[in-house]
Chain A
Amino acid sequence: MATADVTNRGALPNPDVGTYEEVNRDILKVLGRPGKGWWMLFGIAAAGVGLFLASWFWQISKGIGVSGLNAPVGWGVYITTFVFWVGIAHSGTLISAILFLFRAPWRQAIYRASEAMTVFAVMTAGLFPLIHVGRVWHAYWLIPYPNDRFLWPNFRSPLVWDVFAITTYFTVSAVFFYLGTIPDLAAARDHARGLRKRFYQVISLGWRGTDREWHHFSKAYIYLAALATPLVLSVHSVVSWDFAMAIVPGWHTTIFAPYFVAGAIFSGVALVITLAVPMRKFFGLEKYLTVKHFEAMAKLCMLTSAIVLYAYMTEYFLAWYSGEPPERGSFWNRVFGHYWWANWIMLTCNGLVPLMLWFRRVRRSISALFVISIFINIGMWFERYVIIVTSLSHEYEPWAWGLYRPSIVEMGILIGSFCWFGFWFLLFTRLLPPVAIAEMKEVVPPPMRGRETES
């Protein structure tokens, strides 16, 4: 009987949690009656969703002219925010799939929340092409289908690739998220009563935790992770090609795909920190989301921040080295032109502030990480703003240069999109177990009788 190695699963045991029952108790209690704080936040989020819808309906009724979009800057806050949310969506699958394949011992406690974040972030991002097209009733034109003379769309266009990439990403990450929650929904079902029990009975699909279920489930989970891993890297690469395939100075460069992927992971992990800090506090999950977890995420931010900063420097260098006046002019304009402030916010928040993470004391201070993560989120939004708006405003011909100023409608939609995201995330924390119960048990030592029996 080889029970000696049963405790050794290649993962760090969590010293703060003793038994399986404790995991169920601590995590399922979060699903209980929401407190005042939750209702307050939910109220704010719901009001923000109202602002979002009101702004959008205003734009639909009056036309896209109520936004600041015009020639030459035809892509503004909407596309910036689209890329921002797609980027946010990346860390969820990074943490759930890539770190799963690498057997990173710290992912268990954090991955459910970050996967939920991924799904809601893609849901938010997916709205922006619909908002951006203006006439939303024509948005189905995005779907590749032939026109009435049977001419199909041009599959060489990166915008068509984007439709494929985003819909695939949404479908796969939603499936991956839901599949992972099924065993935990069964635990919630066995714990709940009344109407809630009915709800969990249906959405847990009658999961019983039999050997047959677990056997195929754990294999399917590995295969899904293996499929999701290249998908993560591909989606933001495709988004970056929306830009890089165009000949706009400041966009047309081969470093865009890795640069965007690193930036996406950077911003995504930062948002996981931003969300995990209050979650940990309000729901009393200190035992599960420990300083060790935050330090690991901080290290991920440190690495990706270095990659992003390196990409910024490479862009400047290549602009100078190309000898092309429009290219050089575009980057000069970024740093010293009309939008200099956006560029400097980006450099400060993404390059300078994260340098503090090189100190171990900062990495281990939850409040410091919370503040830094907010800086990173702001910086990463501005990164996309800088790339999109300053490049379009300063293309080749000086007489075609122009400025863009976001309108109040665009601001309403921008703020509203954060509330829309928060709305879903708050619902998630009350309806689905926010920490993966079954996977947390893998880092808790299993209950052993410890006695040799006949074998």
Chain B
Amino acid sequence: MIGAKRRQGHSGFFALFEHLDSTIDACKALRKAGHKRFRAYAPLPEHHLLEEGLAKKHSPVRVFTLAGAMTGAATGFAFTTWTSLDWPLITGGKPLMSIPAYVVIAFECAILFGALSTVIGLFINAGLPNFRPMVAYHPACSDGSFGVYVTAPPAEAEAVKDLLSGFEPAELREDPEGFDV
């Protein structure tokens, strides 16, 4: 198994929160204090946490979807057209390239390619599959709790600890070595 990515000279803090609003507030405060690379954990796609707490905007996955679907449609048309031109065989006096019939193939290919490239886009952007050791993680985050993980150099460690304790976490774990997550 691949090892976890250490962040040299940083220590890590994992705060487990029972409440959504505390998590959002903690994320906002961390951003305000200038922390950029921290992670929030949630048991559900919580849009308020993502948009309000972490100021997430568009996801590049949509580019993958569009590119995949357009490639699929083009492939479907190109494939059917090329095969009918490759061996011209007129049947029933119909045009060699029967566009309405080929729309069906192009449409199905557009959906297929679009869906598969959406998945590829998701995997690339979200870093999945991720079989590194589950270091900065708490199993309660798939149950009913939220979490925040932040790393800090020794000089800022105390400040981060104070900041997180301010939001009354249910548990505050300190690791002497921080990880990139």
Contacts from A to B (Cβ < 8 Å) = 1-3, 6, 9, 19-21, 24, 146, 150-152, 154-156, 160-161, 164-165, 167-168, 171-172, 175-176, 179, 182-183, 186-187, 189-191, 205-220, 223-224, 227-228, 230-231, 234, 238, 437-439, 441-442, 446-451, 453-455
Q: How many A-B residue pairs have CB under 8 A?
A: 221
- Contact (Cβ within 8 A) A179 B122: yes
Known contacts A164-B104, A168-B111; A220 and B119 CB within 8 A of each other: yes
Question: Contacts A6-B21, A155-B83, A230-B111: A213 and B128 contacting too (C-beta < 8 A)?
Answer: yes
Q: Beyond A168-B108, A208-B141, is A447–B89 a contact (Cβ under 8 Å)?
A: no
Q: How far is the CB of B76 from chain A (nearest CB, A)?
A: 8
Contact residues in B for A146 (Cβ distance below 8 Å): 83
Q: Across the interface, which residues of A come within 8 angstroms of B111, CB to CB?
A: 168, 172, 227-228, 230-231, 234
A441 with B21: CB separation less than 8 A: no
Give chain B's interface residues, CB within 8 Å of chain A.
Answer: 18-22, 24-25, 28-29, 39-50, 52, 54, 56, 58-59, 61-62, 65, 69, 80, 83-84, 86-87, 89, 91, 94, 98, 101-102, 104-105, 107-109, 111-112, 114-116, 118-119, 121-122, 125-132, 134, 137, 139, 141-145, 166-168, 181
Which of the residues B59, B115, B121, B139 comes within 8 Å of A171, measured between beta carbons? B115
Closest to B60 in A: A216
- The answer to whether B62 touches A223, judged by C-beta atoms less than 8 angstroms apart, is yes
Contact check, A223 vs B129: say whether CB atoms are below 8 A apart: no
8 sample A-B contacts, Cβ–Cβ < 8 Å, listed by A number: A1-B21, A152-B87, A187-B43, A205-B131, A215-B59, A219-B62, A227-B118, A438-B44
A219-B59 contact, Cβ under 8 Å, with A205-B128, A211-B49, A234-B108: yes
Contact B108 A206 (CB under 8 A): no
Are B40 and A211 in contact, CB atoms less than 8 angstroms apart?
Answer: yes
Interface centre among B43, B129, B132, B166 (most CB of A within 10 A): B43
Besides the known contacts A155-B98, A161-B105, A230-B107, 11 further A-B residue pairs in the complex with CB atoms under 8 A apart: A1-B25, A24-B144, A164-B108, A191-B139, A217-B126, A218-B50, A220-B121, A227-B114, A231-B111, A442-B44, A448-B21
Interface of B, helix, strand, loop or mixed by DSSP: helix
Tell me the bound Cα distance from A154 to B118 in angstroms. Answer: 30
Q: Assess A439 versus B44: contact at CB under 8 Å? Given A151-B89, A211-B39, A447-B19.
A: yes
